[in-house]
Structure 1
Amino acid sequence: MKSSKLSLSLALGSAIALSAVAVTSPAEAASKEKCYGVALAGQNDCAAGPGTSCAGTSKTDYQSNAWKLVPAGTCVEMESKTSSTGHGQLNAF
């Protein structure tokens, strides 16, 4: 009997924890933006162009078509050694 109460408590606790994560994730995502040309090789969040599939697949540092999620408003201030402006871009270049 004690075992089933413990299992139920653990399941309920897990459900509450997961719902809290689900509630905060959209707000966190809204405060971030895609920044192209700032990720180091293999550290992009997704979309690294032809020959790559998604996260962690960029082939070179500062790859112009690979993006990383950064706090909103900071992208154009971040360094990019491949960008014509020397900073991250909000679109692939």
Structure 2
Amino acid sequence: MNKTLSKASLALALGAALSVSAVPGTAQAAEVEQEKCYGVALKGQNDCKAGPGTSCAGTSKIDYQGNAWSLVPKGTCEQVESKTSPTGYGQLQAFTEKRG
């Protein structure tokens, strides 16, 4: 009986150690600052805001919709491609899509 108890205790200790070691990585990921980037989400994959008559996340009607945003790491928005943006890149403010 002691062998079974020892194996169970070892398994429990190992499980606890693994779960504790995973926490710091998760906390670090949460610390990365994010910003709203308009015009970079694909249809139905935006994080929020997609204009009148929409509820929020996942409501964009077209790829690269100018009034729908996705969260990206801070400082990278204007480097992300946007096929409808006047500059060809994501924008920090909503915009009217260029047609063409």
**TM-score computed with the length of structure 1 as normaliser:** 0.69
Q: Quick one: which of 44, 51, 54 aligns to 2:53?
A: 51
Q: 1:29 to 1:46 in 2, by over 3 A?
A: farther
1:52 deviates by 1.1
1:29 deviates by 6.8
Q: Quick one: which of 34, 37, 42 aligns to 2:36?
A: 34
What SS is found at the alignment partner of 2:78? helix
Q: Is the Cα contact below 8 Å between 2:39 and 2:64 reproduced in 1?
A: yes
Q: Partners in 2 of 1:74 and 1:91 — Cα distance?
A: 14
1:28 deviates by 3.1
Residue number in structure 1 paired with 2:5: none
Q: Is the Cα contact below 8 Å between 2:32 and 2:73 reproduced in 1?
A: no
Residue number in structure 1 paired with 2:79: 77
Q: Which whole-Å deviations, capped at 9, do the CAs of 1:9-65 have from their partners, x for residues lacking one?
A: xxxxxxxxxxx7xxx4xx837600000000000000011111211000000000000
Residue number in structure 1 paired with 2:67: 65
The higher radius of gyration belongs to: 2
Identity of aligned residues (%): 72
What SS is found at the alignment partner of 1:58? coil
Across the two proteins, how many residue pairs are aligned to each other? 76
**Amino acid corresponding to residue 56 of structure 1 in structure 2:** G
Q: 1:41 to 1:70 in 2, by over 3 A?
A: same
Q: Partners in 2 of 1:28 and 1:68 — Cα distance?
A: 16
Consecutive unaligned residues in structure 2, runs of 5 or more: 1-22, 96-100
